[in-house]
Amino acid sequence: MSRMSFSCDYLEGALPEILKRMEETSMEQVPGYGFDPVSESAKDKIRKACETPKADIYFLIGGTQTNAVVIDGFLHRYEGVIAAGTGHVALHEAGAIEYCGHKVLTIPGSFDKLSAAEVEHYMENFLGDENHEHMVQPGIVYISQPTEYGSVYHKDELEALHETCQKYGLPLYIDGARLADALAAEDNDVSLPLLAHSCEAFYIGGTKCGAYIGEAVVFPHHDTIPHFFTLIKEHGALLAKGRLTGIQFDTLFTDDLYFKAGKHAVDEANRIRAVLKECGYTFDLENTTNQIFIVLENEKYKKISEEVELAFWEKKDDTHTVVRIATSWATKPENTDRLCAILRQYR
Amino acid sequence: MSRMSFSCDYLEGALPEILKRMEETSMEQVPGYGFDPVSESAKDKIRKACETPKADIYFLIGGTQTNAVVIDGFLHRYEGVIAAGTGHVALHEAGAIEYCGHKVLTIPGSFDKLSAAEVEHYMENFLGDENHEHMVQPGIVYISQPTEYGSVYHKDELEALHETCQKYGLPLYIDGARLADALAAEDNDVSLPLLAHSCEAFYIGGTKCGAYIGEAVVFPHHDTIPHFFTLIKEHGALLAKGRLTGIQFDTLFTDDLYFKAGKHAVDEANRIRAVLKECGYTFDLENTTNQIFIVLENEKYKKISEEVELAFWEKKDDTHTVVRIATSWATKPENTDRLCAILRQYR
Amino acid sequence: MSRMSFSCDYLEGALPEILKRMEETSMEQVPGYGFDPVSESAKDKIRKACETPKADIYFLIGGTQTNAVVIDGFLHRYEGVIAAGTGHVALHEAGAIEYCGHKVLTIPGSFDKLSAAEVEHYMENFLGDENHEHMVQPGIVYISQPTEYGSVYHKDELEALHETCQKYGLPLYIDGARLADALAAEDNDVSLPLLAHSCEAFYIGGTKCGAYIGEAVVFPHHDTIPHFFTLIKEHGALLAKGRLTGIQFDTLFTDDLYFKAGKHAVDEANRIRAVLKECGYTFDLENTTNQIFIVLENEKYKKISEEVELAFWEKKDDTHTVVRIATSWATKPENTDRLCAILRQYR
Amino acid sequence: MSRMSFSCDYLEGALPEILKRMEETSMEQVPGYGFDPVSESAKDKIRKACETPKADIYFLIGGTQTNAVVIDGFLHRYEGVIAAGTGHVALHEAGAIEYCGHKVLTIPGSFDKLSAAEVEHYMENFLGDENHEHMVQPGIVYISQPTEYGSVYHKDELEALHETCQKYGLPLYIDGARLADALAAEDNDVSLPLLAHSCEAFYIGGTKCGAYIGEAVVFPHHDTIPHFFTLIKEHGALLAKGRLTGIQFDTLFTDDLYFKAGKHAVDEANRIRAVLKECGYTFDLENTTNQIFIVLENEKYKKISEEVELAFWEKKDDTHTVVRIATSWATKPENTDRLCAILRQYR
């Protein structure tokens, strides 16, 4: 790949600190399946960072897998998962949720963030339908922080949503594939401990935030899902050499590396954002995290693409395209400079 | 872990050559999901090693996952997988096959290797049962090379089994979690190309043979299972940073590292085996790969365990235990020496 | 139930001819699972009526079950079923399709009938999406004749849809829960043979058209789904005393009883329809089969309901309700008279 | 079928009392899905017969379906069902249990009845296995009363088994496909109320005991499985015209018809049994219900089969066959006389 790329946030490998520790510890003999000392240490550090001393923590491998295992763990066979129409589980996971036998119940008209009011309305409608025992029972609510469009839920939104979920007996599960980016957003007021206290489960994304692979599932309350270990195994999601994810999270939660990884990504995105605004580019949707969605004329998109790889997101209309620019922990500042120059040039 | 351990073959991390390449390439920007150049290169090297220029190759993460995805890919909903009663899919995968909706059809009385005659007998019985349309249809045959007990199928056994499978229209799938160890066995006459020509799918195990994670699924014939990529995703088994498995297999298939890894493990096992024979230890089952199963008096087992960790396999009777000794690519010769000395001491 | 009811079309038991034959044949000893002579005779009669001499025919028990078994039979694990947003499989089957592991791919904005253009647009969008291998693969198209809203597909619509399906390699499956009613509609130009030649599978609904239970699945081409019998059993859908559905369909396809049952229902509905029009009632949606959807002021709905049971369909707005009136093979003409009088009274 | 048949117990339709009521009530308009007055009445009668005033009762359609829905309802995703190797769920249900994602955990060596000791031994072994979190968790115990071989569990056996199940937190589920026959057995000491108090769920078989279709699931304790109605629907097992099963069970539990049906079957079987003993026939297994298993020389079996249809059960050896003789509520005494004469003739 000769052109530099801002097309996505998992183009590079892992933080050097992680690779170094993998090398240093490689010949140590440790037990498998996540019971090694480093994995235990990583869990402790996460418990501290979340201020949830009794949390159960499991390391899984990727987002789709994590969503499938956790959601399946929460649901009874006759239940489905409520999500926004734009939710990752609804669109881009190849039916991994349905594969487990559960319907994704998308709230009609919902887009990006899911509000307490939308869930309330959905549930009232459902319960008010005489035939609701003939329908899939809503069993959990799924959101992502930040969303698939890079938006962050604020404290009041999250707490209202959680309250509504509790009213209907629905656990709230938060997909944190890019959680480091939400935590670093200027307008963010949802800390890790607050997040942990506002849901029944969430995961701290590693793959997109400095790790090679790995997502840390956090159940703030002990034994939320009995036999979750067996469920992981049954899903084919259990890592023999669990140390691999353990090392990564232990490193990420040392010296605030995880938070720094997010901050770097968002800082670089903010520099790009400023140039885009200055030059009058059109944003498809405004957000404050590491992904930027702009609308480009097709011709201009084509020309810019000759110098830097951006991501096609969707057709806006016949002459315009929605394009995604993504930064990450690995974005080189000099590349951001070059991208800014290009954007200025094609303003 | 202060004591040295011979309890299993995935106690260590990965070959230094792999870690070195992970570090060297970490900041390169490459596409995800296994479409990066290194993954492509790894696939080519495997195709050459197998002498199957048209093979489709996919990198998955662990054995249980790989078995579930491949077997599910071959089977229709009404079909099950034939396996020995001791097959890994039948016992120790937490029902991952059943989770996909498929029954594991264990052949009664079968143990360790599955013979052509056993499959023939099973199929004749099945087809001869008037009610067989009321039963799960056999849809694939599963074996492992080497077996869960470290035995290797020989050329004539494998070819006879494959012929029988073809007679009944059953694809043959070979679990190669420890394939490097089978390839290095003194009595082995099944080369990689022969293996590839004697089945419809197999996997080359990485996790237990030098890699951190990763199993390479090989379909000798192109497009054996349509949309296998989507199936991988649906199972939650798709790696975003596919380069991680690509790098490992590209390295393993450079300079014969994979074969050397197996040879080292088997050589060390053979040294231990020789001492065990010399000292008159009882073997529970004789084999020629990297796992050794011996019967120890409980008292002796307890004492030996104070100095070296071996694996409890199963109770033999009230006063004896079956114990597993496993070597790997990472076994240090000096540790083998120490183990041999201990075994001599407790003869 | 003291009030007469027009709330749905399965309030009564079965045609007297059916009950008579059940009684006459009850003590005959016949084989189970649908292999009895009467079931065979019923299949032959249906083959004749459809002009598909090689069709495979199976008798199942209810609509949700039939849809699940047939759709599951057609689909690979990574595939889903395209349906209108108002399709029965999408809403009111408690996730029976997802339970089999398949996503229902509702076409956004689709309502009632699904057009060839909508399917074409959906498929072009899907195939044009770079990420479509990460998504559920469309594997079949589901429609119902008549639709959930009582509309009938006309010859040109059906043929265009089938052609589009074939272009994309998608089987077309038609839910005929109320097929007798479509066949009897004044504007219907789709005969049973035409229907059979325009799809890969359909079912002839019995439960809502004169039978106690039973739906006849027709695969116009022999062996469309191998081992379909085993699949039925696996779904728990195999009837030990298959004669029960056999007798019903054999009777329904004797002396055109099935067609007469539909004609009676539609004739009665047309009488009601005429009165509704004459009295200026508002139709929510116009159709020509046995279900009528009108919009009533809440007050009026309440009053009418004191004299006759109609079905609440959905809220139209705060002061109006969509109400369903359904007739069936069992609707007594004197009850239709009474209903017409009531409707006139409350005009 | 010109020859009389004793091959199985579901060769005929239904008791005349049932057919009569179906006819009498056919034109009554009643609500669907089992909420009609007759279904409610049937449930009350069953509650009384079981002396379980708070029991939840559901009518399903056949044995395989009932087993799949109930077992699936009890189990979490990571759990399987313990059964004897000869259990119906283990062999002849086309993988319906695995289709729901659950493994059937057959106890090695178990045959016919499952003893408390066998379950205890299995559980102790399981819990004693260090790797048991990598294995399917036992979640329920399945037995049938009478067994697939016609044996009945006695009071002490059943109570011991239930106690053992409770010790390990395992619900006990009893398949009563031929329960009427067990209740009528001479050596039976397990009444309906005792049965209901010794398990967490059971079903009262209709299909093989006088009904056309229908099995009544009884949960002695209210709300044992939440949303069981939705689960039934999701499995495609919900009958639109629930009255059909309601009428049958209401009739069966009027004037003790169910008990009389079983008694008739067992009485006729006992007459045959007496002749077989008198003539020195060899029993493959002795039991006291409506199925008789004898061993015949192949030649003799062939000759007898020319006059009466019996069921091939399995090959005993090269010259002998195990043959099943089954009676039912519908067995005509004159046919029993003829069979006895034939058996005497070929003694």
| A-chain residues near C130 (CB < 8 A) | 312
Residue with structure tokens 């839920």?
A153
Domain that holds residue B127: 16-256
Task: State pLDDT tens for residues D261-276.
Answer: 999 999 999 999 999 9
| Model pLDDT, residue A1 | 45
User: In this structure, are D242 and D101 located in the same domain?
Assistant: yes
The SS3 of residue A30 is: coil
**CA dist A253 to A37, A56, A73, A184, A262, Å?**
15, 16, 26, 15, 12
Q: Are residues B113 and B143 in the same domain?
A: yes
- The pLDDT score that the predictor gives to residue B79 is 94
Do D244 and D262 have their domain in common?
no
Nearest-by-CA chain B residue for C225: B76
Contact between chains at B227 and C78 (C-beta distance less than 8 A) = yes
Among D66, D241, D247, D335, most C C-beta atoms within 10 A, so best to mutate, is D241
The larger pLDDT score, comparing residue C161 to residue B318, is at C161
Quote the minimal CA–CA distance from D62 to chain C in Å: 7
- CA torsion sign, A13 to A18 to A24 to A28? negative
Residue B2: what pLDDT? 64
Which residues of chain B make contact with A4, given a CB cutoff of 8 A? 29
B123's CB contacts (< 8 A; 6+ apart) are: B138, B164, B168, B170
**D chain contacts of residue A73, beta-carbon cutoff 8 Å:** 77
Find the CATH number of the domain harbouring D131: 3.40.640.10
| DSSP character at residue B111 | B
Q: Are C155 and C266 in a shared domain? A: no
Number of compact structural domains in chain D: 2
What is the spatial distance between Cα B274 and Cα B278, in angstroms, rounded to a whole number?
Answer: 6
Nearest residue of chain C to residue B229 (CA atoms): C133
Quickly count: other Cβ atoms within 10 Å of residue C297's Cβ.
14
For C3-46, give the DSSP string. SEE-S-S-SS---HHHHHHHHHHTT----STT-SHHHHHHHHHH
- pLDDT tens digits for range C212-254: 999 999 999 999 999 999 999 999 999 999 999 999 999 999 9
| Chains with ≥3 CB–CB distances under 8 Å to C | A, B, D
Last residue in a domain, options C213, C229, C256: C256
CATH number at residue B312: 3.90.1150.10
Question: For strand C282-285 and strand C291-297, is the pairing parallel, antiparallel, or unpaired?
Answer: antiparallel
Looking at residue B63, its amino acid is G
D42, D177: one domain: yes
* Cβ atoms of C83 and C105 closer than 8 Å: yes
**Residue in B15, B66, B231, B241 to test binding to A, most A beta-carbons within 10 Å:** B241
**Which residues of chain C are within 8 Å of residue A93 when distances are taken between CB atoms?**
134
Distance CA D333, CA D340 (A): 10
Distances (CA, A) of A72 to A69, A229, D286: 5, 13, 46
Residue B341 CA: distances (Å) to CA of B330, C79, D48, D254: 19, 59, 75, 81
- Phi/psi for B223 (5° steps) reads 60, 40
Count CB pairs under 8 A between chains C and D. Answer: 150
Please report residues of B whose CB lies closer than 8 A to that of A64.
233, 236, 238
Residues of C in contact with A72 (CB under 8 A): none
Name the β-bridge partners of C323.
C294, C312
Same domain as C276, residue C139: no
* Residues in A touching D76 (Cβ below 8 Å): 226-227
Residues of B in contact with D10 (CB under 8 A): none
By CB neighbour count within 10 A (0-12 exposed, 13-18 middle, 19+ buried), where does D129 fall? Answer: middle
Q: Answer yes or no: do A193 and A274 share one domain.
A: no
What is the pTM for the complete model shown? 0.94
Min mean pLDDT across C96-110, D84-98, D154-168 is at D84-98
- CB nearest to B103's CB, from D98, D131, D312: D98
Over residues D305-346, the pLDDT tens digits come to: 999 999 999 889 999 999 999 999 999 999 999 999 999 999
Optimal mutation site among A98, A107, A310, interface C, most CBs of chain C within 10 A: A98
**CA gap A186, A146 in Å, rounded:** 13
In this prediction, residue C2 has a pLDDT band, given cuts at 50, 70 and 90, of low
Taking the C-alpha atoms of residue B168 and residue B124, their distance in angstroms, rounded to an integer, is: 10
Nearest-by-Cβ selection for C95 from A99, A103, A130: A103
Tokens, residue C157: 């619509």
Please tell me which of the candidates B72, B78, B231 has its beta carbon nearest to residue C231: B78
pLDDT class of C1 with cuts at 50, 70, 90:
very low
Nearest to A95 among C92, C93, C103 (CB): C103
Would you say B239 and A62 are in contact if contact means Cβ atoms under 8 Å apart? yes
In the prediction, which pLDDT does B160 show? 98
Q: Do B135 and D77 touch (CB under 8 A)?
A: no
- Cβ distance A58 to A223 under 8 Å? no
Question: Do C206 and C177 contact (CB within 8 A), yes or no?
Answer: no
**Torsion (CA) D129, D133, D135, D140 in degrees, nearest 10:** 100
Cα separation, B148 vs B127, whole angstroms? 29
For residue A331, give the chain B residue with the closest CA: B27
Looking at CA atoms only, how far is residue D241 from chain A in angstroms?
A: 15
- C287 — pLDDT class (breaks 50, 70, 90): very high
Nearest chain A Cα distance for residue D173, angstroms: 19
Residue of chain C whose Cα is closest to the Cα of A89: C135
Q: Do C234 and B72 touch (CB under 8 A)?
A: no
Residue B280 corresponds to which tokens in the numbers above?
A: 């008159």
CA dihedral A130, A135, A138, A143 (to 10 degrees): -120
In degrees rounded to 5, what are phi and psi of residue B126? -60, -50
> B216-227, pLDDT tens digit by residue?
999 999 999 999
Query: Tens of pLDDT along C198-209?
Result: 999 999 999 999
Identity of residue D289: T
D287-316: b (≥16 Cβ within 10 Å) or e: bbbbbbbbbbeeeebeebeeebbbbebeeb
Pair (B105, B154) in one structural domain: yes
Mean pLDDT of C291-304: 97
Do A277 and A247 belong to one domain?
Answer: no
Bridge partners, residue A283, by sequence: A294
Q: Which of C64, C103, C133 should one mutate to test binding to chain A, selecting the residue with the greatest count of A CBs within 10 A?
A: C103
B135 CB neighbours in chain D (<8 A) are 91-92, 94-95
**Contacting residues for C233 by C-beta, under 8 A, at least 6 apart:** B133, B134, D64, D93, D94, D96
Side chain identity at B171, as an amino acid letter? P
Those residues whose C-beta lies under 8 Å from the C-beta of residue D105, and which sit 6 or more positions away, are D80, D81, D82, D83, D122, D136, D138
Q: Taking CB atoms and an 8 Å limit, are A133 and D77 in contact across chains?
A: no
Of the partner residues C13, C29, C65, the one whose CB lies closest to the CB of residue D26: C13
pLDDT in tens, D39-86: 999 999 999 999 999 999 999 999 999 999 999 999 998 999 999 988
Q: Which of A224, A257, A290 is the last residue of a domain?
A: A257
Of B95, B98, B130, the CB nearest to D312: B130
Q: What is the pLDDT along chain A (347 residues), one digit of tens a residue?
A: 468 999 999 999 999 999 999 999 999 999 999 999 999 999 999 999 999 999 999 999 999 999 999 999 999 989 999 999 877 777 777 688 888 889 999 998 888 999 999 999 999 999 988 888 889 999 999 999 999 999 999 999 999 999 999 999 999 999 999 999 999 999 999 999 999 999 999 999 999 999 999 999 999 999 999 999 999 999 999 999 999 999 999 999 999 999 999 999 999 999 999 999 999 999 999 999 999 999 999 999 999 999 999 999 988 999 999 999 999 999 999 999 999 999 999 98
The pLDDT profile of chain B, 347 residues, written as one tens digit per residue, is 468 999 999 999 999 999 999 999 999 999 999 999 999 999 999 999 999 999 999 999 999 999 999 999 999 989 999 999 887 777 777 688 988 889 999 998 888 999 999 999 999 999 988 888 989 999 999 999 999 999 999 999 999 999 999 999 999 999 999 999 999 999 999 999 999 999 999 999 999 999 999 999 999 999 999 999 999 999 999 999 999 999 999 999 999 999 999 999 999 999 999 999 999 999 999 999 999 999 999 999 999 999 999 999 988 999 999 999 999 999 999 999 999 999 999 98
Enumerate chain B positions whose Cβ falls within 8 A of a Cβ in D. 77-78, 80, 91-95, 98-104, 130-131, 134-136, 312
Residue from B29, B308, B336 to probe the interface with A (highest A Cβ count within 10 Å): B29
Residues of A with CB below 8 A from C104's CB?
103
Fill in the amino acid letter for A17.
E
User: What confidence tens digit (pLDDT) does each residue in D202-221 have?
Assistant: 999 999 999 999 999 999 99
Nearest to D96 among C61, C234, C244 (CB): C234
Q: Residues A220, A296: one domain?
A: no
- Residue contact C230–B136, C-beta within 8 A: yes
Tens of pLDDT, residue by residue over A70-121, are 999 999 989 999 999 877 777 777 688 888 889 999 998 888 999 999 999 9
C135, B230: Cβ pair inside 8 Å? yes
> Closest approach of chain A CAs to the CA of B39, in angstroms?
14
Q: Do B136 and C73 touch (CB under 8 A)?
A: no
Please give, rounded to a whole number of angstroms, the shortest distance from the CA of D87 to a CA of chain B: 13
**Closest residue to C236, CB basis, from D14, D19, D235:** D235
If asked whether residues C85 and C121 sit together in one domain, one would say yes
Q: Select from B229, B256, B283 the last residue of a domain.
A: B256
Mean pLDDT calculated for residue range C338-343: 97
Residues D137 and D268 reside in one and the same domain: no
Q: Which residues have CB under 8 Å from C157's CB, separation 6+? A: C113, C115, C116
Q: How many CB pairs under 8 A join B and C?
A: 47
